[in-house]
Amino acid sequence: MISRFFRPIKEGFYGVGRHAAMSISSASAVTITLLIISIFLIFSFNLQQFTKDVEQSVQIAVMIDYAYEEQSQMDKIGIDIGNIEGVNEVKFSSKEDEFQYYLDGFEDEAQKEVFEPFREDNPMHNAYYVSVEDGSNLKVVADQIAQIEGVDSIDYGGESAVVLVNALNSIRTGGGILAGALSLLAIFLIQNTIKLTIFARSDEIAIMRNVGAKNGFIRSPFLIEGIIIGILGSIIPIMLSVFGYIYLYRIMDGVIISKMFVMIPPHPFVLKIGGILLLIGMAVGLVGSFFSVNKYLRWKR
């Protein structure tokens, strides 16, 4: 029973060793395709992160008219805003908070002193800060809010914020499709390489059938071989991704081009990437072997 379980594993390792040249070829095909996939993964995840950051950072500032400072009036405005479709979160900020926030903006204590007297005769508005579910309908939501009675003015960064969000979204979609397609191609490529490796051994498979080995018995060591090759092939991409990303993060200081694009911190992100690469490597090795062996099992009777 135990030997039933261990035989394919032992045989799989033997197989890799005794076909060293072919195993290296297959593993390096895995390595290269995983490298490509890794670049796309890191790019996609970061892009997703950017988009989320940007969408969260663009919020609509709603200033309430001085004539609507009673609690009940303000509450009604808050509820009205919350009822608009597409609104994610509504946060209230009183005119006192706003004033304090304004003061906090100065670094110089002296300058704070200058504005201190205005605290009594506060020129700020009570405000709501509204974030939207989907950055791309920012403008629609903002326009609706502007209609509400008691809203003095709104500010949402205008057209430029909308354009940016839309651009990021379309890059993300396009990039995602591209990454998915390339990953599929890469997987097919590895499968293809493994098929060639097994093709070179179709004679062996036929001989195994000749001496009475059932298909499952023949297949299992090849599957283990495929997994081993997948693991071997993913070592270099994993190392490169992990250390490469950490290095990149360090020299880029965690941002790309400008502070707006904050990179995902390496920990635990690199572990996630490494894990995904390992899983892809193993799965593709397994699946690739499975289909290839099956093909050649039918080659002779």
Partner 1 sequence: MIELIHASKRYPNGVNALNDINLKIDQGEFVYIIGPTGSGKSTLIKLLDGEEIPSSGTVNVVGINVGKLRHSKVPLYRRNIGVVFQDYRLLPRKTVFENIAYALEVIGMRKDMIRLRVRQVMNLVGLDDKGNSFPSELSGGQQQRVAIARAIANKPKVLIADEPTGNLDPAMSDEIMALLQKINREEQTTIVMVTHDLPLVNKHKKRTIVLEEGHIVADLQQGGYVQHD
Residues near partner 1 (CB under 8 A) are 3-4, 7, 15, 18-19, 203-204, 206-215, 217, 298, 300-301
Q: How far is the CB of 215 from a copy of itself (least distance, A)?
A: 20
Tell me which of partner 1, a copy of itself, none is bound by residue 192, counting a contact when its beta carbon lies within the kind-specific cut-off of 5 to 8 angstroms.
a copy of itself
Among a copy of itself, partner 1, none, residue 300 binds (CB under 5-8 Å by kind) = partner 1
Contact, 65 vs 152, CB < 8 A?
yes
Here the tokens at position 23 are 């195993």
Q: What residue 21 binds from partner 1, a copy of itself, none (CB within 5 to 8 A, per partner kind)? A: a copy of itself
- Rounded Cα distance between 90 and 190, Å, is 50
Q: What is the distance, to the nearest Å, from the Cα of residue 64 to the centroid of all Cα atoms in its chain?
A: 38
Biggest distance spanned by C-alpha atoms of the chain: 99
Enumerate the H helices of 86-152 as residue ranges.
95-104, 109-115, 138-147
Supply 255's token pair: 């941002």
Shortest CB 9 distance to partner 1, Å: 14
Pairing, β 127-132 against β 151-155: unpaired
Nearer to a copy of itself, 148 or 182 (CB): 182
* Residues of this chain, 125-184, that bind a copy of itself according to CB under 8 A: 163, 167, 170, 178, 182
From the number of C-beta atoms within 10 Å of its C-beta (0-12, 13-18, 19+), residue 197 rates as buried
Closer to partner 1 at the Cβ: 9 or 248? 9
What's the min distance (Å) between Cβ of 37 and partner 1? 32
Given a contact cutoff of 8 angstroms between Cβ atoms, the answer to whether 126 and 74 are in contact is yes
Is residue 273 part of the contact set for a copy of itself (CB under 8 A)?
no
Which listed residue (8, 16, 33, 228) binds a copy of itself by CB under 8 A? 33
In this structure, the strands spanning 59-64 and 127-132 are antiparallel
- The answer to whether the bond into 123 is cis (omega within 30° of 0) is no
How is residue 37 written in tokens?
């996939």
Minimum CB separation from a copy of itself for residue 234, in Å? Answer: 15
* Closer residue to partner 1, CB minimum distance, 23 or 234: 23
Nearer to partner 1, 18 or 259 (CB): 18
Dist CA 108 CA 220 (whole Å): 73
283 token code pair: 């799965």
Q: Does 188 bind a copy of itself (CB under 8 A)?
A: yes
Nearest to 118 by CA among 133, 130, 106: 106
**Residues touching a copy of itself, count (CB under 8 A):** 29
Q: Closest separation between CB of residue 154 and a copy of itself, Å?
A: 25
User: Site mask, a copy of itself, residues 206-235, x = CB under 8 A?
Assistant: ------------------------------
Residue 215 binds which of a copy of itself, partner 1, none (CB < 5-8 A, kind-dependent)? partner 1
Residue selected from 22, 162, 242, 297 as contacting a copy of itself according to rule CB under 8 A: 22
- Tokens of residue 77, six digits: 């405005």
First to last CA, the chain: 29
* Residues at the site binding a copy of itself, with contacts judged by CB under 8 A: 21-22, 25-26, 28-29, 32-33, 35-36, 39, 163, 167, 170, 178, 182, 185-186, 188-189, 192-193, 195-197, 199-200, 257-258
